[in-house]
A and B are shown apart, each in its own frame.
Chain A
Amino acid sequence: MSATETVPAVEATSVTKIFNRGKPNEILALDDVSVAVGRNEFMTLIGPSGCGKSTLLRLMAALTHPSDGEISVHGKPADQARQDRDYGMAFQTAGLFDWRTVSQNIELPLQLMGWSKSDRRERADEMLDLVRLEGFGGHYPRELSGGMQQRVAIARALSFSPSILLMDEPFGALDEITREHMQAELLRIWDETHTTVVFVTHSIPEAVFLSERVLVMSPRPGTISAEVIVDLGHRDFDTRESEKFFERVTAVREALRVPEEPA
């Protein structure tokens, strides 16, 4: 099994994505992108709107397919990984189902996977503990605040212990205070579960605070323009005020700077 240890969790090789190919509104969304995400790594994709970072995430999740190139997950095709339920996903909108209670939302993937009712309930309770929402299982999503809803979404994404967590701007709709709190929560959960995380954001401090590694993407056509190794180690409230944090933020900001046309 030592061979699999060296296989990346997610590997995109020379991936190109063209929307509306051959039509007048053809868009080259991603151009020859290669990315490897290590096992248990927290990796962030950052870039301006329309740089294709969400498209890259959707490609990794096999929700759409590359026009060219290959995506493999633990050494197998992305489609196979989707069928094997290797992915947990969270989006900017919590995407909870209004008609299901909080517990039932967390249980949904388990239900689809054929878990027994008692196992499901037990796991839902564990997940509610993990995201610190003990006692809210019987509530309906609309009764909860935005931050609480997003925590339920994370609990749902992690409920079946997927090996990879794909997150598309999950905290984008939250206020700054809730957002920083959720970032700390996510890191705590990541510490406890050691899931591989691919995180998409357009917030520089968020990317730096959360990740081990940040990939900076350039606008259309999307390519990986820079890589910043963050390596902040243990993070807490003071991290955001540390010099190392500012250095990394500056590094990412510089990498995002649009190159000026030579005079």
Chain B
Amino acid sequence: MIERLRSMSPPIIVGIVGLVAWELVLQVLQPDGFVLPPPSDIVASLIATWDAIWIAVQSTGFVIVTGLLFGIAWGVLGALVVSWYRLADEMLTPLAIGVSAIPIIALAPIFNAWFGLLSPRSNQLIVVLLVFFPIFINTTRGLTDIDPDQIDLMRSYGASRWQITKEVRIPNAMPFFFTALKISAALAVIAAIVSEYFGGRQDALGPLIVQNAGLARYPDAWAAVLAGSLIGIGLYALARVVERFAMPWQTAVNQGVEG
């Protein structure tokens, strides 16, 4: 428990010191409020406008979660196919790397034209595409970057391709997958909110930020940004928890080294 506190406290201390400094500088210097509101104003706004923010969090959260799930599903599926068929690897992987260089957010206005300006489909598609590539590329690496002796060993047992995938490739890919998942969680939040600036449901976080900033209600806009950050932090934390449960050998080894 003390170990845990010790490992957590430095970032918390830095965070608190930063917030206090931010608050103090603004209270003392009192620049025009709209440049940067003090943290206390942002928190006050979050509470005051909670109803609208909660609706927006659900609306944007839906886009983020569904986009993440589909992006992960397609990314993992693509990686499995590529690990099974060399031809698919030669055809798809360079293509995927090429396509991943496209600034996908820039496609938002085009997707709005496809799905309708107020449809969340365009936001979902952007999240799916942005999540797909890190998941696909990292998982492929994890499924294929395997000690050849281990594959030979499985073959010497007469293991089928599926058994090799299940017992060797998938466990080997887990650390790669979770690294990508943690990156993707943050990307998904950014992708959803930024794409909402261009279109999608109007009760979402993106429009809320744009409207509040447009009306010079900066603390309200910051409160919506804060809500978005909290979604991102929550998803990251969730990914870490799942990671720990999915890979018990990692924690065992780490404890073994320390102890």
Which residue among B150, B156, B167 has the maximum number of chain A CB atoms within 10 Å of its CB? B156
CB distance from A51 to the nearest CB of B (A): 19
Per-position 1/0 for B29-73, Cβ under 8 A of A: 000000000000000000000000000000000000000000000
Per-position 1/0 for A96-112, Cβ under 8 A of B: 01111100000011001
Interface residues of B in 209-252 (CB under 8 A from A): 247, 249, 252
For B155, give the chain A residue with the smallest CB separation: A63
For A88, give the chain B residue with the smallest CB separation: B156
Q: Given A143-B252, A143-B253, are A99 and B152 neighbors across the interface (CB < 8 Å)?
A: no
Other-chain contact of A112, B147, B152, B159, B247 (Cβ < 8 Å): B159
Q: Is the interface of B mostly helix, strand, loop or mixed?
A: helix
Other-chain contact of B247, A99, A108, A166 (Cβ < 8 Å): A99
Q: Given A112-B163, A140-B252, are A97 and B150 neighbors across the interface (CB < 8 Å)?
A: yes
Report whether B152 and A61 are in contact in the complex, using a CB–CB cutoff of 8 Å: yes
Please indicate the chain B residues that have their CB under 8 angstroms from the CB of A139 in the complex: 256
Please indicate the chain A residues that have their CB under 8 angstroms from the CB of B158 in the complex: 82-85, 112
Report whether B149 and A140 are in contact in the complex, using a CB–CB cutoff of 8 Å: no
Report whether B156 and A87 are in contact in the complex, using a CB–CB cutoff of 8 Å: yes
A99 CA / B169 CA spacing, docked (Å)? 11
Q: Given A140-B252, A142-B253, A143-B252, are A99 and B171 neighbors across the interface (CB < 8 Å)?
A: yes
Interface residues of A in 32-58 (CB under 8 A from B): 58
For A61, give the chain B residue with the smallest CB separation: B156
Q: Write 17 A-B pairs (CB below 8 A) sorted by A numbering.
A: A82-B155, A88-B156, A91-B153, A92-B149, A93-B147, A95-B150, A95-B153, A97-B167, A97-B168, A98-B171, A99-B247, A101-B249, A112-B158, A112-B163, A112-B167, A142-B256, A166-B156
A113 CA / B167 CA spacing, docked (Å)? 13
Other-chain contact of B157, A95, A109, A140 (Cβ < 8 Å): A109
For A162, give the chain B residue with the smallest CB separation: B156
Other-chain contact of B152, A88, A89, A109, A140 (Cβ < 8 Å): A89
Q: Given A98-B249, A112-B163, are A93 and B155 neighbors across the interface (CB < 8 Å)?
A: no
Q: Given A82-B156, A108-B167, are A99 and B174 neighbors across the interface (CB < 8 Å)?
A: yes
A166 CA / B147 CA spacing, docked (Å)? 18
For B164, give the chain A residue with the smallest CB separation: A112
A190 CA / B163 CA spacing, docked (Å)? 30
Please indicate the chain B residues that have their CB under 8 angstroms from the CB of A98 in the complex: 171, 249, 253
Other-chain contact of B149, A88, A93, A99, A143 (Cβ < 8 Å): A93
**Chain A positions near chain B (C-beta within 8 angstroms):** 58, 61, 63, 82-85, 87-89, 91-93, 95, 97-101, 108-109, 112-113, 139-140, 142-143, 166
Please indicate the chain A residues that have their CB under 8 angstroms from the CB of B153 in the complex: 89, 91, 95
In the complex, which range does the number of interface residues on chain B fall in?
A: 20 to 34
**Chain B positions near chain A (C-beta within 8 angstroms):** 147, 149-150, 152-159, 163, 167-168, 171-172, 174, 247, 249, 252-253, 256
A113 CA / B174 CA spacing, docked (Å)? 25
Please indicate the chain B residues that have their CB under 8 angstroms from the CB of A89 in the complex: 152-153, 156
For A63, give the chain B residue with the smallest CB separation: B152
A63 CA / B148 CA spacing, docked (Å)? 11
A166 CA / B152 CA spacing, docked (Å)? 12
Q: Given A91-B149, A95-B147, are A85 and B157 neighbors across the interface (CB < 8 Å)?
A: yes
Beyond the given A97-B171, A112-B159, could you list 18 further A-B residue pairs with CB under 8 A, ordered by the A residue number? A61-B156, A82-B155, A83-B158, A89-B152, A89-B153, A89-B156, A91-B152, A92-B149, A95-B149, A97-B167, A97-B168, A98-B171, A99-B171, A99-B247, A108-B167, A112-B158, A142-B253, A142-B256
Please indicate the chain B residues that have their CB under 8 angstroms from the CB of A142 in the complex: 249, 253, 256
A147 CA / B243 CA spacing, docked (Å)? 30
Report whether A58 and B249 are in contact in the complex, using a CB–CB cutoff of 8 Å: no
Please indicate the chain B residues that have their CB under 8 angstroms from the CB of A82 in the complex: 155-156, 158
Report whether B256 and A113 are in contact in the complex, using a CB–CB cutoff of 8 Å: no
Which residue among A83, A99, A108, A109 has the maximum number of chain B CB atoms within 10 Å of its CB? A99
CB distance from B163 to the nearest CB of A (A): 6
Please indicate the chain A residues that have their CB under 8 angstroms from the CB of B249 in the complex: 98-101, 140, 142
Please indicate the chain A residues that have their CB under 8 angstroms from the CB of B253 in the complex: 98, 140, 142-143
Please indicate the chain A residues that have their CB under 8 angstroms from the CB of B149 in the complex: 91-93, 95
Report whether B256 and A63 are in contact in the complex, using a CB–CB cutoff of 8 Å: no
For A144, give the chain B residue with the smallest CB separation: B256
CB distance from B208 to the nearest CB of A (A): 44
